[in-house]
């Protein structure tokens, strides 16, 4: 069978992939001059913008594009019923809004990356000579010259990878690692990996079969391990990368198990065909094969109000739970959340932003696709699970965030909590529910990436990036401080951060409408808990510093990050004034 | 006229945005000018308001804002909201008038003006909104500015107080939102006008009860209703004077207004079920507030608790579900806003002068020491305890009357009990206010906190002393904000130091007795240009104008007799005269040196009585308290038609 590929449909991931290759080539062939890194950054930025333009054009055009299709097949001896035509790659409203969010966020992240990469070669040569043991690459314990090798991180298994005390901690976004001075983060690899992850992230919301979903999800995840570890010889970064790798691989394995069960149950990988097969009338079931009719499955069938299906209910339940668990890892939902803070803190700030927004958006895209297309008829089965996950996620995330003193760790747990709000809307299981959670995700993306951008712009190299370091920021850098205050208040969901408020209202409305009063109350309480740490951080910005802070780093190095902050701020303000943009796009 | 309605929100908002755009320190009349414009708009609306149709929303503005949420930008004024809008605009204006001279500690005047203007937007918007979600949005807008007012410009325990305030009220608002959404789910509309006209039809009884509980809980936290009031004393005690005034006079009203506007008209069946409980909590609040007041040693805290009691009367009026009771509640709202606003102003002024509001340390005989302020305190206290002829009386009396004849759905014996307990509460209210007056205004004029040296560490109450009393030559007090522009590198509060005494001035005696302009000498600090005084400025604003000239003179004589330490006797005058100079100096010095001299009306021997700015800020409150007390129909004729319409009596 010869596939005809609609290149217009796959234009945006294609552009990203080609630019990724181009960046790699340029990195090889361009002379090693200081300007080269910036050139690579601009090429990446151009690629992302081009992909974003394609997405925008597709959105304006409004056409539904599909490619990688298989034709309909009539019922035959092996097939109990006719299989409709199905496509693996579909560009529709859902695809476009996710792709738009991901690419717009990517613009900010590329800008942050330019700051990160420009910042890396910082003066640390003296330290190298002071501590000769650091020159061996095997010694991953070199966190900073002052604290010396940290004992905890020599055996980077998840069990031993507890957070290093902050007092002896290295600088996650800074120049602490001595070898970062001699070996800066390689720009070519960085941008290549970033573009690969973006390719996956843009492909994922367009995927309409399980294989493609898994492949795209892996394409998002795999480059991120490497990106996290690119700060070589930084113990915390290595630890973070390994932790992320292990967690991600485990979650992929779990999800693959669930996916294979789904495939085995339904005989198809296309989401629509799965849905059709699961919702098939009972008569087809007997033709499909033997059915377990033991008491438990019958009970499960009736209890979960699953319509009479062709598949054993227990197996289906297991498959659904496994798939959910796999995605829960990706979106850092409780109880699969524990990696978040350590990884966010260890990774460079742009990668943390990528993880908290793009990776999360991709995860939610996959989750929404699977739940609302393939398992649409099984909402009685998964909705309670999602509701419990949501309640746990927001509560645990908020409670953990309360105790944080490190800016990025706080954002990590807060983004876990925010995942809970997104899941909460999803748990209502309806067409508008998915729209509500997408709307929340879009607004969340703008405000959260903005917060990360300020952390990048204001968290100067060499500082610990603790919350205390933000004390009095309003007097040193009024723009950054006001922007951060706005983002935080948005995240808390209070005016003047109307975007966050309306996002929460949308979710609340969905839950109240769905009649899940308990979840609504849990979320209301969580909003208050969340407010505490957001407002505490915001208040620090305006509290005079005990000692006058260091002068801001050089303007030149900061500028892309400041542009990133400005972009996020403008978008958040627009969402605050006219949230209808998001609501109509998502709905 | 609907343009003017929008202007009520747009003017303060534009004023705030303007502050954000410029980096220069605003002139000190800026806030007063912006809020004065807003007040003018409010007065214009009041004039154009048709009292014959007070039951209907007038000057409506209705535009779609977020169709996805069915949220409309729907504003309007009726007989219930008009008085509250006027009260808000007036009090904000008066606060700004007061602020032109009496700035709280914490500096950053520009930020304070910005915060208060945003607060004004939220407060006025809450009273104007005719869309449930819009109401909620405005209701929430006040949270963050008020948090910062307390947390930045507050007293010693400001941090925890601010956090307590925002957490309590946000928890209330979250529950309130759930209740509002529940209403929306059942009716499909957020339009308050339509919902009020429907009188709850379309919402099943169980849902009404549930929604009333949720909405009521959210509003009760704000009101505050006992036992949800515990955030209030801390917030009031720690907030700066203007914060306390706005908190008591306006923010609390948002809760009770919500009951009258949303909860009772939209959910009548739910209200009927919950009202006995509401009444019970209300009378519990009345008695509890009064008893707590009796136990207070701090004036500010006492007034905060008295608010709990007064809001108890308001809630009792609401709980009766009768036109009389709800009119009483709305009247009580306004009266409490005026009187408690005045009380907080006066107590703030006392705290400013003596550095404490602790009754035991203030000593007695305030009427002798500061006759004008003492009289005003007496007036406000007497008004607050509900003496007939003043505004405070009608709210309480009508609420008790309402409880005498509650709505037919309500158990009358229960409400008669409430009435009896509420009557007891009025006695207790009188008791604590009279006790306070006997302690503070009467008695021997002892001045235990006035001493040339800095005080020894104060007794355990942590909130009492952040402001040390002035010491000659190097006092701190409140005065100019240490940091006159946020362009300064850091906002450390100015530290008292010897360099502060760089400005010296002839005693006030010369001024008061001869009428000549004060001669101001500015001894320049090293490296800075010597600047001379600005006599015209001092003549214009520093010297009290005619009505308030008299109170100054005893002080002046006293200081003349007191002898050599009197170079600080004319603090306000010196303040006025040298402020320009000082500002220039400070801006030259980079705003960080803490060289700003204080401008308190504090003298070494005796603090100054009423200043012109205080007089200007307080006179309207006194006048309105008298006017409403003597002519309650003025207000009741506005609120009554709206209340009748809400209850469906007509």
- Tens-place pLDDT, residues A205-252: 999 889 999 999 999 989 998 888 887 777 888 888 888 898 888 889
- In a 3-state reduction of DSSP, which class is residue A76? coil
Cβ distance A505 to B122 less than 8 Å, yes or no, reads no
Could you say which residues from 468 to 507 on chain A have a Cβ atom under 8 Å away from some Cβ of chain B? 472, 474-476, 478, 482, 489, 494-496, 498, 501-502, 505-506
* Cis peptide bond upstream of B493, omega within 30: no
Return the closest-CA partner of residue B379 out of B394, B395, B391. B391
How far apart, in whole angstroms, are the C-alpha atoms of residue B369 and residue B530?
37
Q: Given CB atoms, is A577 within the 8 Å cutoff of chain B?
A: no
Q: Between the CA of residue B607 and those of B384, B424, B474, B554, what are the distances in Å?
A: 26, 38, 16, 11
Alpha-carbon torsion (B140, B146, B151, B157), positive or negative:
negative
- Helix B323-354 vs helix B81-99: crossing angle, to nearest 10: 0
How far apart, in whole angstroms, are the C-alpha atoms of residue A100 and residue A521?
32
What tokens appear for B333 in the block?
């709202």
pLDDT of residue B64: 85
Residue of chain A minimizing CA distance to B23: A478
Query: How does pLDDT run across A477-494, given as a tens digit for each residue?
Result: 888 888 999 999 999 888
How far apart, in whole angstroms, are the C-alpha atoms of residue B16 and residue B29?
14
Of B67, B137, B185, the CB nearest to A501: B137
Residue of chain B minimizing CA distance to A548: B490
What tokens appear for A586 in the block?
């998502």
**For chain A, percent of residues with pLDDT exceeding 70:** 78
Of B148, B171, B177, the CB nearest to A505: B177
pLDDT of residue B477: 38
Q: Is the ipTM of this complex over 0.85?
A: no
| Burial zone of B309 (CB within 10 Å; 0-12 exposed, 13-18 middle, 19+ buried) | buried
Q: Given CB atoms, is A77 within the 8 Å cutoff of chain B?
A: no
pLDDT of residue A200: 93
Query: How does pLDDT run across B339-371, given as a tens digit for each residue?
Result: 999 989 888 888 888 877 788 777 777 787 788
Mutate to test the interface with B, among A435, A524, A529 (most CBs of B within 10 A): A524
Helices H / strands E in chain A, number of each: 24, 2
Q: Given CB atoms, is B170 within the 8 Å cutoff of chain A?
A: yes
pLDDT at residue B284 greater than cutoff 60 = yes
Could you say which residues from 274 to 313 on chain A have a Cβ atom under 8 Å away from some Cβ of chain B? none
pLDDT at residue A269 greater than cutoff 90 = no
Which range has the top average pLDDT, A34-38, A90-94, B485-489? Answer: A90-94
Query: How does pLDDT run across A542-557, given as a tens digit for each residue?
Result: 877 665 555 554 444 4
- In a 3-state reduction of DSSP, which class is residue A33? coil
> What's the 3-state SS for B534-585?
CHHHHHHHHCCCHHHHHHHHHHHHHHHHHCHHHHHCCHHHHHHHHHHHHHHH
Q: Given CB atoms, is B484 within the 8 Å cutoff of chain A?
A: no
pLDDT at residue A139 greater than cutoff 50 = no
- In a 3-state reduction of DSSP, which class is residue B66? strand
pLDDT of residue A203: 92
pLDDT at residue B537 greater than cutoff 80 = no
Backbone angles phi, psi at A65, to 5 degrees: -100, 145
* Sequence-separated (6 or more) residues with CB below 8 Å from residue A59: A96, A100
- From chain A, the residues in CB contact with B151 under 8 A are 539
Mutate to test the interface with B, among A512, A538, A586 (most CBs of B within 10 A): A512
* Sequence-separated (6 or more) residues with CB below 8 Å from residue B403: B279, B316, B317, B319, B320, B325, B415, B416, B418, B419, B422
Query: How does pLDDT run across B21-74, given as a tens digit for each residue?
Result: 887 777 878 888 888 889 998 898 888 888 888 778 888 888 888 887 888 888
Give B606's pLDDT tier (boundaries 50, 70, 90): low
Q: Which residue has the higher pLDDT, B540 or B21?
A: B21
Return the closest-CA partner of residue A508 out of A427, A449, A580. A427
Which ranges in B259-365 belong to alpha helices (H)? 264-266, 268-295, 299-319, 323-354, 359-362
pLDDT of residue A445: 92
Place of tokens 């742009």: A350
pLDDT of residue B281: 92
What tokens appear for A405 in the block?
């003193």
Give A510's pLDDT tier (boundaries 50, 70, 90): confident
CA-based diameter of chain A, in Å? 81
- From chain A, the residues in CB contact with B177 under 8 A are 505, 508, 524
Residue of chain B minimizing CA distance to A488: B144
Query: How does pLDDT run across B121-161, given as a tens digit for each residue?
Result: 999 999 999 898 899 999 888 888 888 888 888 778 888 88
Q: Between the CA of residue A279 and those of A273, A311, B58, what are the distances in Å?
A: 10, 10, 56
Q: Which residue pairs from B534-540 have beta carbons closer than 8 angstroms and sit at least 24 positions apart in sequence?
A: B534/B577, B534/B578, B534/B580, B534/B581, B535/B577, B537/B576, B537/B577, B537/B579, B537/B580, B538/B573, B538/B576, B538/B577
Written as one string, the DSSP assignment of A156-210 is: --TTT-PPPPGGG---TTSS-STHHHHSPPPHHHHHHHHHHHHHHHHHGGGB-BH
Cβ distance B174 to A527 less than 8 Å, yes or no, reads yes
- From chain B, the residues in CB contact with A520 under 8 A are 178
pLDDT of residue A479: 84
- From chain B, the residues in CB contact with A482 under 8 A are 20
How far apart, in whole angstroms, are the C-alpha atoms of residue B316 and residue B333?
12
Q: Between the CA of residue B572 and those of A236, A352, B648, what are the distances in Å?
A: 59, 55, 56
Q: Between the CA of residue A181 and those of A118, A193, A558, B540, what are the distances in Å?
A: 12, 22, 18, 65
Cβ atoms of A243 and A161 within 8 Å: the answer is yes
pLDDT at residue A441 greater than cutoff 60 = yes
* Exposure letters A424-446 (e unless 16+ CB within 10 A, then b): bbbbbbbebbbbbbbbbbbbbbb
Q: How many CA atoms lie within 13 A of A94 on its CB side?
A: 26
Cβ distance B151 to A539 less than 8 Å, yes or no, reads yes
Of B66, B143, B167, the CB nearest to A532: B167
- From chain B, the residues in CB contact with A532 under 8 A are 163, 167
Q: Between the CA of residue B547 and those of A269, B372, B510, B544, B573, what are the distances in Å?
A: 89, 11, 19, 8, 16
- From chain A, the residues in CB contact with B489 under 8 A are 475-476, 548
Cβ distance A528 to B492 less than 8 Å, yes or no, reads no
**In DSSP terms, which residues pair with A209 in a beta bridge?**
A270
How far apart, in whole angstroms, are the C-alpha atoms of residue A271 and residue A294?
28
Q: Which residue pairs from A6-10 have beta carbons closer than 8 angstroms and sit at least 24 positions apart in sequence?
A: A6/A65, A6/A66, A6/A67, A8/A58, A8/A65, A9/A65, A9/A66, A9/A67, A9/A89, A9/A90, A9/A91, A9/A206, A10/A67, A10/A89, A10/A206
Cβ atoms of B238 and B155 within 8 Å: the answer is yes
Query: How does pLDDT run across B168-181, given as a tens digit for each residue?
Result: 888 888 889 889 88
Q: Region B85-114: what's the mean pLDDT? A: 84
Place of tokens 């004004």: B120
pLDDT at residue A4 greater than cutoff 60 = yes
Q: Given CB atoms, is B73 within the 8 Å cutoff of chain A?
A: no
Q: Which uninterrupted H or E stretch holds B450?
A: none
Give A256's pLDDT tier (boundaries 50, 70, 90): very high
pLDDT of residue B369: 79
Pairing of strands B71-77, B503-505: unpaired
Of A496, A527, A579, the CB nearest to B66: A579
Query: How does pLDDT run across B319-342, given as a tens digit for each residue?
Result: 988 888 889 998 998 999 999 999
How far apart, in whole angstroms, are the C-alpha atoms of residue A431 and residue A437?
10
Of A478, A548, A584, the CB nearest to B68: A584
pLDDT of residue A104: 92
Return the closest-CA partner of residue B147 out of A139, A308, A79, A494. A494
- From chain A, the residues in CB contact with B159 under 8 A are 539
Give A141's pLDDT tier (boundaries 50, 70, 90): very low
Backbone angles phi, psi at B75, to 5 degrees: -120, 155
Tell me how many residue pairs between chain A and chain B have CB atoms under 8 A apart. 109
Return the closest-CA partner of residue B153 out of B233, B249, B232, B243. B243
Q: Please state, as a whole number, how many other Cβ atoms lie within 10 Å of the Cβ of residue B141.
A: 23
Give A78's pLDDT tier (boundaries 50, 70, 90): low
Mutate to test the interface with B, among A505, A508, A511, A533 (most CBs of B within 10 A): A505
CA distance B360 to chain A (A): 33
- From chain A, the residues in CB contact with B141 under 8 A are 495-496
Residue of chain B minimizing CA distance to A489: B144
- From chain B, the residues in CB contact with A584 under 8 A are 67-68
Give B557's pLDDT tier (boundaries 50, 70, 90): very low
Residue of chain B minimizing CA distance to A532: B167
Least confident of A293-307, A352-366, A465-479, B587-601: B587-601
What mean pLDDT is reported for chain B?
A: 75
What tokens appear for A427 in the block?
């748990």
Residue of chain A minimizing CA distance to B122: A495
Place of tokens 């701190």: B476
pLDDT of residue B605: 56
Cβ distance B486 to A478 less than 8 Å, yes or no, reads yes
pLDDT at residue B543 greater than cutoff 80 = no
Of A475, A496, A513, the CB nearest to B141: A496
pLDDT of residue A33: 76
Cβ distance A475 to B491 less than 8 Å, yes or no, reads yes
Q: Which residue has the higher pLDDT, A586 or B408?
A: B408
pLDDT of residue A157: 40
What mean pLDDT is reported for chain A?
A: 78
- From chain B, the residues in CB contact with A488 under 8 A are none
Mutate to test the interface with B, among A528, A529, A574 (most CBs of B within 10 A): A528
Q: Which residue has the higher pLDDT, A268 or A301?
A: A268
Q: Given CB atoms, is A539 within the 8 Å cutoff of chain B?
A: yes
Query: How does pLDDT run across B410-428, given as a tens digit for each residue?
Result: 888 898 999 999 889 888 8
Q: Given CB atoms, is B70 within the 8 Å cutoff of chain A?
A: no
Cβ atoms of B376 and B618 within 8 Å: the answer is yes
What tokens appear for B134 in the block?
């819009």
- In a 3-state reduction of DSSP, which class is residue A142? strand
Cβ atoms of B222 and B251 within 8 Å: the answer is yes
Q: Which residue has the higher pLDDT, A468 or B261?
A: B261
Cβ atoms of B612 and B366 within 8 Å: the answer is no
Give A98's pLDDT tier (boundaries 50, 70, 90): very high
Q: Given CB atoms, is B141 within the 8 Å cutoff of chain A?
A: yes
- From chain B, the residues in CB contact with A543 under 8 A are 152
Query: How does pLDDT run across B217-274, given as a tens digit for each residue?
Result: 999 998 888 888 888 888 888 888 888 888 888 888 898 999 988 888 888 888 889 9
pLDDT at residue B522 greater than cutoff 70 = no
Cβ distance A528 to B182 less than 8 Å, yes or no, reads no
Of B141, B178, B486, the CB nearest to A524: B178
Query: How does pLDDT run across B179-192, given as a tens digit for each residue?
Result: 988 888 888 888 88
What tokens appear for A216 in the block?
């795209």
Mutate to test the interface with A, among B170, B254, B482 (most CBs of A within 10 A): B170
* Rg (alpha carbons) of chain A, rounded to whole number: 24
Q: Region A295-322: what's the mean pLDDT? A: 62
Give A15's pLDDT tier (boundaries 50, 70, 90): very high
Q: Given CB atoms, is B644 within the 8 Å cutoff of chain A?
A: no
What tokens appear for B268 in the block?
């009548």
Q: Given CB atoms, is B90 within the 8 Å cutoff of chain A?
A: no
pLDDT of residue A335: 80
Query: How does pLDDT run across B473-513, given as a tens digit for each residue?
Result: 333 333 333 333 333 334 334 444 333 333 333 333 333 33
Q: Region A346-352: what's the mean pLDDT? A: 88
pLDDT of residue A459: 66
């Amino acid at each position: 069978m010869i596939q005809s590929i609609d290149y217009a449909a796959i234009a945006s991931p294609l552009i990203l992939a080609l630019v990724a290759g181009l960046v790699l080539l340029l990195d090889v062939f361009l002379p090693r001059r200081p300007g080269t890194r910036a050139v690579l950054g601009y090429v990446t930025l151009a690629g992302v913008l081009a992909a974003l333009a394609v997405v925008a054009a597709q959105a304006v055009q409004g056409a539904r594009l599909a490619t990688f299709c298989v034709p309909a097949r009539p019922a035959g001896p092996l097939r109990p019923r006719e299989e409709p035509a199905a496509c693996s790659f579909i560009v529709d409203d859902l695809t476009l809004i996710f792709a738009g969010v991901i690419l717009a966020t990517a613009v900010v992240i590329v800008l942050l990356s330019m700051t990160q990469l420009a910042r890396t070669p910082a003066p640390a040569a003296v330290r190298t000579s002071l501590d000769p043991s650091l020159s061996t690459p095997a010694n991953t314990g070199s966190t900073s010259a002052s604290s010396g090798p940290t004992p905890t991180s020599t055996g980077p298994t998840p069990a031993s990878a507890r957070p290093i005390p902050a007092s002896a901690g290295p600088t996650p976004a800074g120049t602490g690692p001595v070898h970062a001075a001699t070996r800066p983060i390689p720009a070519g690899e960085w941008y290549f990996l970033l573009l690969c992850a973006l390719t996956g992230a843009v492909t994922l919301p367009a995927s309409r079969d399980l294989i493609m979903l898994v492949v795209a999800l892996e394409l998002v995840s795999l480059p991120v391990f490497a990106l996290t570890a690119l700060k070589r010889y930084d113990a915390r970064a290595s630890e973070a990368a390994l932790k992320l790798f292990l967690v991600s691989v485990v979650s992929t394995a779990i999800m693959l198990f669930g996916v294979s069960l789904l495939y085995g149950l339904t005989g198809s990988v296309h989401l629509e065909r799965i849905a059709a097969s699961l919702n098939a009338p009972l008569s087809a079931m007997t033709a499909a094969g033997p059915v377990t009719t033991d008491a438990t499955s019958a009970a499960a069938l009736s209890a979960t109000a699953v319509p009479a299906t062709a598949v054993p209910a227990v197996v289906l339940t297991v498959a659904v739970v496994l798939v959910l668990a796999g995605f829960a890892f990706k979106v850092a939902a409780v109880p699969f959340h524990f990696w978040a803070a350590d990884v966010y803190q260890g990774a460079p700030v742009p990668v943390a932003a990528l993880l908290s927004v793009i990776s999360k958006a991709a995860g939610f895209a996959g989750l929404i696709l699977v739940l609302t297309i393939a398992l649409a008829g099984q909402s009685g089965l998964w909705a309670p699970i999602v509701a419990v996950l949501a309640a746990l996620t927001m509560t645990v995330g908020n409670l953990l965030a309360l105790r944080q003193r490190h800016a990025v760790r706080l954002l990590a747990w807060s983004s876990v909590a925010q995942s809970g709000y997104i899941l909460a809307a999803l748990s209502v299981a309806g067409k508008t529910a998915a729209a509500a959670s997408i709307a929340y995700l879009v607004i969340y993306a703008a405000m959260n990436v903005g917060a990360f951008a300020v952390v990048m712009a204001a968290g100067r190299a060499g500082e610990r990036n603790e919350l205390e370091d933000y004390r009095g920021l309003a007097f040193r850098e009024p723009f950054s401080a006001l922007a951060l205050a706005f983002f935080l208040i948005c995240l808390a969901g209070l005016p003047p951060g109307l975007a966050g408020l309306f996002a929460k209202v949308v979710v609340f409305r969905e839950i109240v409408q769905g009649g899940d009063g308990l979840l609504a109350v849990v979320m209301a309480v969580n909003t208050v808990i969340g407010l505490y740490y957001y407002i505490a951080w915001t208040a620090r910005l305006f509290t005079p510093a005990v000692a006058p802070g260091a002068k801001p780093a050089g303007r030149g190095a900061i500028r892309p990050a400041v542009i990133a902050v400005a972009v996020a701020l403008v978008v958040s303000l627009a969402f605050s004034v006219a949230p209808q943009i998001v609501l109509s796009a998502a709905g | 006229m609907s343009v003017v309605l929008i202007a009520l929100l747009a003017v303060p908002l534009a004023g705030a945005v303007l502050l954000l755009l410029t980096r220069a320190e605003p002139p000190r009349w800026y806030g007063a000018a912006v809020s004065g414009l807003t007040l003018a708009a409010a007065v214009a609306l009041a004039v154009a308001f048709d009292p014959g149709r007070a039951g209907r929303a007038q000057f409506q503005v209705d535009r779609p804002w977020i169709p996805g949420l069915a949220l409309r930008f729907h504003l309007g004024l009726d007989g219930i909201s008009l008085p509250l809008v006027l009260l808000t605009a007036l009090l904000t204006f008066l606060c700004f008038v007061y602020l032109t001279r009496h700035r709280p500690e914490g500096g950053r005047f520009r930020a304070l003006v910005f915060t208060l203007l945003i607060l004004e937007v939220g407060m006025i918007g809450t009273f104007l909104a005719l869309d449930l979600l819009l109401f909620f949005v405005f209701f929430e807008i006040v949270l963050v500015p008020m948090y910062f007012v307390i947390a930045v410009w507050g007293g010693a325990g400001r941090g925890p107080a601010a956090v307590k305030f925002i957490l309590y009220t946000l928890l209330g608002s979250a529950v309130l939102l759930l209740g509002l959404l529940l209403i929306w789910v059942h009716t499909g509309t957020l339009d308050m006008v339509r919902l009020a006209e429907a009188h709850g039809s379309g919402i099943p009884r169980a849902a009404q009860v549930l929604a009333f509980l949720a909405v009521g809980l959210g509003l009760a936290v704000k009101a505050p209703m006992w036992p949800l009031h515990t955030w209030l004393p801390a917030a009031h005690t720690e907030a700066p004077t203007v914060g306390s005034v706005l908190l008591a006079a306006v923010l609390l009203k948002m809760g009770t207004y919500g009951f009258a506007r949303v909860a009772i008209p939209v959910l009548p069946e739910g209200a009927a079920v919950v009202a006995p409980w509401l009444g019970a909590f209300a009378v519990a609040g009345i008695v509890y507030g009064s008893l707590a007041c009796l136990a207070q040693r701090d004036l500010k805290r006492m007034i905060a608790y008295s608010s709990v009691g007064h809001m108890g009367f308001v809630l009792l009026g609401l709980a009766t579900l009768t036109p009389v009771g709800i009119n009483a509640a709305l009247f009580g709202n306004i009266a409490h806003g005026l009187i408690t606003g005045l009380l907080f102003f006066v107590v703030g002024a006392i705290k400013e002068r003596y550095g404490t509001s602790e009754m035991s340390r203030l000593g007695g005989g305030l009427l002798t020491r500061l006759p004008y302020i003492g009289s005003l305190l007496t007036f406000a206290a007497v008004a607050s305890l509900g003496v007939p002829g003043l505004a405070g009386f009608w709210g309480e009396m009508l609420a008790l009357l309402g409880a005498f004849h509650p709505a037919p759905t309500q158990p009358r014996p229960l409400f008669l009990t409430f009435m009896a307990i509420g009557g007891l509460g009025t006695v207790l209210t009188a008791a604590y206010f009279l006790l306070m007056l006997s302690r503070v205004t009467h008695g021997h004029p002892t001045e235990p906190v006035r001493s040339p040296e800095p005080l020894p560490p104060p007794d355990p109450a942590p909130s009492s002393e952040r402001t040390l009393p002035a010491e000659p030559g190097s006092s701190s007090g409140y005065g100019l904000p240490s940091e006159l522009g946020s362009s300064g590198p850091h906002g450390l509060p100015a530290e008292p130091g010897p360099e502060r005494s760089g400005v010296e001035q002839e005693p006030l005696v010369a001024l008061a007795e001869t009428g000549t302009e004060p001669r101001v000498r500015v001894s320049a600090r090293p490296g800075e240009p010597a600047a001379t005084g600005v006599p015209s400025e001092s003549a214009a604003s520093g010297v009290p104008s005619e009505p308030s000239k008299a109170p100054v003179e005893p002080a002046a004589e006293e200081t003349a007799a007191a002898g050599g330490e009197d170079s600080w006797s004319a603090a306000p005058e010196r303040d006025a005269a040298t402020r320009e100079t000082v500002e220039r100096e400070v801006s030259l010095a980079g705003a960080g040196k803490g060289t700003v001299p204080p401008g308190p009306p504090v003298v070494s021997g005796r603090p100054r009585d009423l200043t012109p700015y205080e007089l200007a800020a307080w006179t309207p409150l006194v006048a309105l308290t008298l006017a409403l007390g003597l002519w309650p129909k003025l207000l009741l004729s506005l609120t009554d038609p709206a209340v009748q319409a809400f209850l469906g009596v007509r």
